[in-house]
Structure 1
Amino acid sequence: MSQWKQIQQLEIKYLEQVDYLYDDNFPMDIRQVLSSWIESQDWDTAANHESMATVLLNNLLSQLERQCSQEQNFLQRHNLKIINQQLQLKYKASPLHMAGVIATCLREERRIISTASIQEQGPLEKSMQNPVAFERQKNLDNRVAVIRSRVQMMDQAVKHLEDMQDDFDFRYKTLQSRDPADRNTDVMKQEVTRLQEMLNNLDFKRKDSLSKMRDVIKEIDALVVSQLNPELMEWKRKQQINCIGGPMLTGLEQLQNWFTLTAQSLFQMKRQLDKMGELILKVTYESDPIPLQRPQMEEQVKYLLYHLIRSSFVVEKQPCMPTHPQKPLIIKTGVQFTTKVRLLVKLPEVDYQLKVKTIFDKDLPPGRVNRQFFILTTNTKVMDVEESSNGCLSVEFRHLQLKEKKYVNGTKVNEGPLSVTEELHSLSFEAQFNILGINIDLETCSFPLVVISNVSQLPGGWASVMWYNLLTDEPKNLGFFANPPRASWGQLSEVLSWQFSTFAGRGLNREQLHMLGEKLLGHQASHSESQVSWSKFCKENIPGKPFSFWMWLDSILELIKKHLLPIWNDNCIMGFVSKETERSLLKDREPGTFLLRFSESHLGGITFTWVEQSENAGEAKLISVEPYTKSRLSALPFADIIRDYKVFANGEAPENPLKFLYPDIPKNEAFGRHYNSQQSKVFPYIPSMLIPISTLHATPPPCSSPEPPMSPGMFDMLTQHLSPLEIETAMSSPYSE
Structure 2
Amino acid sequence: MEWSITFRSRHSRLYIRPQLSRLGVKCWRHSMSQWKQIQQLEIKYLEQVDYLYDDNFPMDIRQVLSNWIESQDWDTAANHESMATVLLNNLLSQLDRQCSQEQNFLQRHNLKIINQQLQLKYKASPLLMASVISTCLREERRIISTASIQEQGPLEKSLQNSVTFERQKTMDNRVAVIRSSVLMMDQEVKYLEDMQDDFDFRYKTLQSRDPADRNTDKTKQEVTRLQEMLNNLDFKRKENLSKMSDVIKEIDAFMVSQLNPELMEWKRRQQINCIGGPMLTGLDQLQNWFSLTAQSLFQMKRQLDKLGELILKVTYESDPIPLQKPQMEEQVKYLIYHLIKSSFVVEKQPCMPTHPQKPLIIKTGVQFTTKVRLLVKLPEVDYQLKVKTIFDKDLPPGRVNRQFFILTANTKVMDVEESSNGCLSVEFRHLQLKEKKYVNGTKVNEGPLSVTEELHSLSFEAQFNMLGINIDLETCSFPLVVISNVSQLPGGWASVMWYNLLTDEPKNLAFFANPPRASWGQLSEVLSWQFSTFAGRGLNREQLHMLGEKLLGQQASHNEAQVSWSKFSKENIPRKPFSFWMWLDSILELIKKHLLPIWNDNCIMGFVSKETERSLLKDKEPGTFLLRFSESHLGGITFTWVEQSDNGEATFISVEPYTKARLSALPFADIIRDYKVFANGEAPENPLKFLYPDIPKNEAFGRHYNSQQSKVFPYIPSILIPISTLHANPPPCSSPEPPMSPGMFDMLTQHLSPLEMETAMSSPYSE
Which deviates more, 716-725 or 536-545?
716-725
- Give the one of 627, 632, 642 matched to 1:596: 627
SS in 2 for 1:21: coil
The aligned counterpart of 2:71 is 40
1:55-91 per-residue CA deviation (whole Å, 9 max, x = no partner) reads 1111111111121122222221111111110000001
- Give the one of 594, 612, 623 matched to 2:653: 623
Q: Is the 8 A contact 2:625 2:639 kept in 1?
A: yes
Q: Is the 8 A contact 1:654 1:722 kept in 2?
A: no
**Cα distance between partner residues in 1 of 2:695 and 2:185:** 74
- Give the one of 701, 708, 722 matched to 2:752: 722
TM-score (norm 2): 0.95
Q: Is the 8 A contact 1:552 1:604 kept in 2?
A: yes
The aligned counterpart of 2:703 is 673
**Cα distance between partner residues in 1 of 2:254 and 2:735:** 71
Offset, 1:323: 0.5
Offset, 1:589: 1.4
The aligned counterpart of 1:20 is 51
1:75-133 per-residue CA deviation (whole Å, 9 max, x = no partner) reads 21111111110000001111111111000000000001101111110100000101883
Offset, 1:19: 1.1
1:393-412 per-residue CA deviation (whole Å, 9 max, x = no partner) reads 11111111111111111111
**Cα distance between partner residues in 1 of 2:325 and 2:626:** 79
Q: Is the 8 A contact 2:436 2:444 kept in 1?
A: yes
Change (3 A) 1:131 1:533: closer
Which deviates more, 480-489 or 675-684?
675-684
2:201 matched to 1:170?
A: yes
Aligned residues: 736
Which deviates more, 63-72 or 129-138?
129-138
SS in 2 for 1:130: helix
The aligned counterpart of 1:298 is 329
Q: Is the 8 A contact 1:320 1:328 kept in 2?
A: yes
- Give the one of 454, 464, 476 matched to 1:423: 454
Instruction: Report matched runs for 1:74-473 at 5 Å.
Output: 74-130=105-161, 133-351=164-382, 353-473=384-504
**Cα distance between partner residues in 1 of 2:755 and 2:441:** 69
Offset, 1:33: 1.3
SS in 2 for 1:358: strand
Q: Is the 8 A contact 1:383 1:393 kept in 2?
A: yes
**Cα distance between partner residues in 1 of 2:265 and 2:467:** 30
Q: Is the 8 A contact 2:387 2:413 kept in 1?
A: yes
Which deviates more, 545-554 or 37-46?
37-46
1:138-165 per-residue CA deviation (whole Å, 9 max, x = no partner) reads 2111111111101000000000011001
CA RMSD after TM alignment: 1.1
Change (3 A) 1:351 1:476: closer
**Cα distance between partner residues in 2 of 1:621 and 1:209:** 90
**Cα distance between partner residues in 2 of 1:643 and 1:635:** 15
Offset, 1:46: 1.3
Offset, 1:703: 2.1
1:200-251 per-residue CA deviation (whole Å, 9 max, x = no partner) reads 0001000100110011111111110111000000000000000000011111
Change (3 A) 1:557 1:167: same
**Cα distance between partner residues in 2 of 1:267 and 1:706:** 74
Offset, 1:351: 4.3
Offset, 1:700: 1.0
Which deviates more, 570-579 or 126-135?
126-135
Q: Is the 8 A contact 1:517 1:527 kept in 2?
A: no
Change (3 A) 1:519 1:464: same
**Cα distance between partner residues in 2 of 1:3 and 1:339:** 31
Q: Is the 8 A contact 1:555 1:603 kept in 2?
A: yes
SS in 2 for 1:129: helix
Offset, 1:706: 5.0
Q: Is the 8 A contact 1:521 1:527 kept in 2?
A: no
**Cα distance between partner residues in 2 of 1:368 and 1:257:** 41
Change (3 A) 1:299 1:705: closer
Q: Is the 8 A contact 1:259 1:312 kept in 2?
A: yes
**Cα distance between partner residues in 2 of 1:709 and 1:187:** 127
**Cα distance between partner residues in 1 of 2:575 and 2:197:** 92
Gaps of 5+ in 2: 1-31
Offset, 1:583: 1.0
Offset, 1:12: 1.8
Q: Is the 8 A contact 2:669 2:704 kept in 1?
A: yes
Change (3 A) 1:700 1:345: same
Q: Is the 8 A contact 1:645 1:691 kept in 2?
A: yes
Gaps of 5+ in 1: none
Offset, 1:135: 2.0
Which deviates more, 263-272 or 138-147?
138-147
TM-score (norm 1): 0.99
**Cα distance between partner residues in 2 of 1:143 and 1:678:** 65
Offset, 1:529: 1.1
**Cα distance between partner residues in 1 of 2:52 and 2:240:** 46
1:24-50 per-residue CA deviation (whole Å, 9 max, x = no partner) reads 000111111111111111111111222
Q: Is the 8 A contact 2:738 2:761 kept in 1?
A: no
SS in 2 for 1:610: strand
1:571-594 per-residue CA deviation (whole Å, 9 max, x = no partner) reads 110000001111111112121010
Q: Is the 8 A contact 2:162 2:265 kept in 1?
A: no
